[in-house]
Amino acid sequence: MHENGKIRVLVVDDSAFMRNALTKMIASDHEFHVVGTARDGVEAVDKVISLRPDIVTLDVEMPRMNGLEALRLIMDKNPVPVVMVSSLTTEGAETTLEALDIGAVDFIPKNLSDISGDILKIKENLLRKLKILGRLKPRLKKRSISRDLPPLKIRHTGERRISVVAIGSSTGGPRALQEILPKLPENFPVPILVAQHMPKNFTGPFAERLNQLSRITVKEAEDGEPIEPGKALIAPGGRHIGVSRGKALKVQVRVMPDNGESIYKPSVDILLKEVSRVYPGRVLGVILTGMGHDGLEGIKEMKKEGGRTIAESEETCVVYGMPKSVVEAGLADKVLPINEIAGEIINSV
């Protein structure tokens, strides 16, 4: 599979500038070998079959066959981890979310032509993601997401100990969240707060997509809005969310800028620490698929206060990084496949 132990990458983009920029970035690291490039979807599908790369970077807007059509064929005929190269516009976000539904494992921003300090950050982000995905061989099982899931029933079991559900996710998270939130009933009795690693412009369309699939209300969090039962608030991309008690002790969301302290934005650690402070011992923390260990420190604090934790099991994670760190630290009360997590959340509240 790997050539001299190197991760083999196919770069697909109709822009010669982008192909060269990506190829140079990837080839600058000795762990990679760029096995080829393609200018459109037709070439991409052919080269995936002939070159057998370990990972593909795939543009969306291309002549002859666009990225989404190519992705469908790749996932159907010759599944391989695909990272979308996405523009950071609202339209780019919607297309990227569709690509993640089809089977892409992750995405990177396309603004590589920015002549600024960002180029170094983009390069670091790209290489980090490709290394992890290339080494781990992420799970590419096609999961069909039902658009019409029957809601699960709330079992009333006396006193309620959980006052809020806090969910953290990263790589593979958009699909995982689409397997959880649509199963929750309209009368879900506590609020839900979600930190999904995403850039700005992506979380608004993502929240809207989840809202259309769900019976509960799902929206992007706004600073100062109340948190309420039956409502899931998604942390805005590139920022963090916390909570505070306002007038009449009502709890409201705080949307906070990132001051460069977090690798991941929105941060799962920050969300969990914040909710543990306001709801000590009454938080259900849910850690889903993702690379890295964001959420581990927050779960430690949450558990000290007596909160409960669910971690997604390895069998359904795209990347078993974030849940693994919680499980290996002995902090998970339940370790479950994604299809069982909504039921466990409902039983816990």
Integer Cα distance of 317 and 176 in angstroms: 8
Mean pLDDT of the chain: 89
pLDDT value, residue 249: 74
Mean pLDDT value across residues 265-284: 95
pLDDT at 116 over 80: no
pLDDT at 97 exceeding the cut of 50 = yes
Q: What is the pLDDT of residues 202-239, one digit of tens each?
A: 999 999 999 999 999 999 999 999 999 999 999 999 99
Q: How far is CA 78 from the centre of its chain?
A: 24
Assigned token pair, 229? 């039962």
CA distance 67 to 62: 7
Q: In the predicted model, what is the mean pLDDT of residues 129-140?
A: 79
pLDDT at 154 over 70: no
Predicted confidence band at 115 (pLDDT cuts at 50, 70, 90)? very low
Q: Is the pLDDT of residue 174 over 90?
A: yes
Q: In the numeric block, which tokens belong to residue 110?
A: 């396309």
First vs last Cα of the chain: how many Å apart?
A: 46
Q: Is 28 exposed, middle or buried (0-12, 13-18, 19+ CB in 10 A)?
A: exposed
Both structure tokens of 243 = 């909570």
Q: What is the model's pLDDT at position 117?
A: 53
Confidence at 2, pLDDT banded by 50, 70, 90: low
Average pLDDT over residues 168-179: 95
Catalytic center residues: 170, 197, 294
Query: 311, 191 in Cβ contact below 8 A?
Result: no
Whether the bond into 185 is cis, omega within 30 of 0: no
Asked which of 44-53, 122-131, 285-294 is least confident by mean pLDDT, the reply is 122-131
Structure tokens at 194: 């979600």
Closest listed residue to residue 19, CA positions, set 66, 58, 76: 58
**Residue 126: Cβ within 10 Å count:** 20
Q: Confidence class of residue 158 from pLDDT cuts 50, 70 and 90?
A: very low
Whether residue 321 is predicted with pLDDT greater than 90 in this model: the reply is: yes
> Which residue reads 């009449």 in tokens?
248
Which run of H or E residues covers position 33?
Answer: strand 32-38
Residue by residue, DSSP assigns 129-190 as: HHHHHHHH-------PPPSSPPPPPPP--SS----EEEEEE-TTHHHHHHHHGGGS-TT--S
Q: pLDDT: is 156 or 51 the higher one?
A: 51
Residue 79: count other Cβ atoms within 10 Å of its Cβ: 13
Strands 240-245 and 251-256: antiparallel
| More confident of the two residues 225 and 136 | 225
- Report for 110-119, 127-136, 313-322: range of highest mean pLDDT: 313-322
Residue 142: per-residue pLDDT: 52
Matching fold, domains 7-136 and 164-348:
yes
Count other Cβ atoms within 10 Å, centred on residue 240: 24
Using DSSP, state whether 120 is helix, strand or coil.
helix
What is the reported pLDDT for 146? 47
**Percent of the chain at pLDDT exceeding 90:** 72
In this structure, the strands spanning 55-59 and 7-12 are parallel
| Residue pLDDT, tens place only, 240-264 | 999 998 777 789 999 999 887 788 8
Model confidence at 122: pLDDT above 80: no
| Prediction pTM value | 0.89
For the record, the structure tokens of 325 come out as 């760190």
Residue 130 neighbours by CB distance under 10 Å: 24
Q: What is the pLDDT of residue 137?
A: 67
- Higher per-residue confidence, 16 vs 158: 16
What 3 state SS string does 222-278 have?
CCCCECCCCEEEECCCCCEEEEEECHHHCEEEEEECCCCCCCCCCCHHHHHHHHHHH
Q: Does residue 345 carry a pLDDT above 60?
A: yes
Q: Where are the domains of the chain?
A: 7-136, 164-348
Instruction: State the fold for domain 7-136.
Output: Rossmann fold (3.40.50)
* Run of H or E residues at 50: helix 41-51
Amino acid at 19: R
Query: How much is the pLDDT for 109?
Result: 76
- The two structure tokens encoding residue 9: 């990458």
Closest by CA to 180, choosing from 344, 347, 308, 349, is 344
The mean pLDDT of 42-49, rounded to a whole number, is 96
Architecture of domain 164-348: 3-Layer(aba) Sandwich (3.40)
